[in-house]
């Protein structure tokens, strides 16, 4: 049960990251390489990998718009990670990004009720942006 809820919450946060970054025409820019594409063709990429931190896996500050190339291949083998780090420092400031690294190992127990709450919140925000983009 919690596993299914987690999967849904992760799918929604990835969609929310792309759609909230999109302009009114639905376009957003990859945080790693600057490619511009429609949010439906982009990914929501985790800065700290979702498997590496229960604390950050479902926080919106950790998920941002990335092209599929950077989110997939680039994070593992290319320079997408370094570029993402630069973008994060630019956007949030170095102190925040350092704090993220320190909080990475914090264990965060998420219960079914928490997932349901998150899912409802993400859905509402997504709906708002879907209306905005039209």
The contact set with Zn ion (CB under 5 A) reads: 30, 32-33, 35, 67, 70
Q: In this complex, which beta carbon is closest to Zn ion, that of residue 35 or of residue 54?
A: 35
Cβ at position 34, least distance to Zn ion in Å: 7
d(CA 132, CA 90): 26
d(CA 125, CA 133): 12
Cβ at position 64, least distance to Zn ion in Å: 11
Q: In this complex, which beta carbon is closest to Zn ion, that of residue 28 or of residue 118?
A: 28
Cβ at position 6, least distance to Zn ion in Å: 26
Contact 84, 43 (CB under 8 A): no
Contact 44, 66 (CB under 8 A): yes
Q: In this complex, which beta carbon is closest to Zn ion, that of residue 70 or of residue 118?
A: 70
Q: In this complex, which beta carbon is closest to Zn ion, that of residue 28 or of residue 58?
A: 28
Encode 19-87 in three state secondary structure.
HHHCCCCCEEECCCCCCEEEHHHCEEEECCCCCCCCCCCCCHHHEEEECHHHHHHHHHHCCHHHHHHHH
Cβ at position 59, least distance to Zn ion in Å: 22
């Amino acid at each position: 049960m919690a596993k299914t809820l987690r999967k849904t919450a992760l799918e929604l946060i990835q969609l929310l990251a792309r759609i909230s970054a999109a302009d009114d025409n639905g376009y957003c820019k990859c945080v790693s390489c600057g490619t511009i594409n429609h949010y439906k063709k982009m990914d929501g990429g985790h800065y700290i990998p979702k498997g590496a931190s229960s604390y950050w896996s479902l926080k919106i500050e950790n998920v941002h718009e990335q092209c599929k190339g950077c989110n997939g291949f680039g994070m593992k083998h290319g320079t997408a990670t370094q570029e993402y780090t630069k973008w994060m420092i630019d956007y949030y400031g170095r102190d925040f990004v350092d704090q993220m690294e320190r909080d990475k190992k914090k264990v965060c127990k998420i219960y079914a009720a928490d997932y349901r709450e998150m899912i409802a919140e993400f859905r509402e925000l997504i709906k708002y942006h879907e209306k905005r983009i039209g």
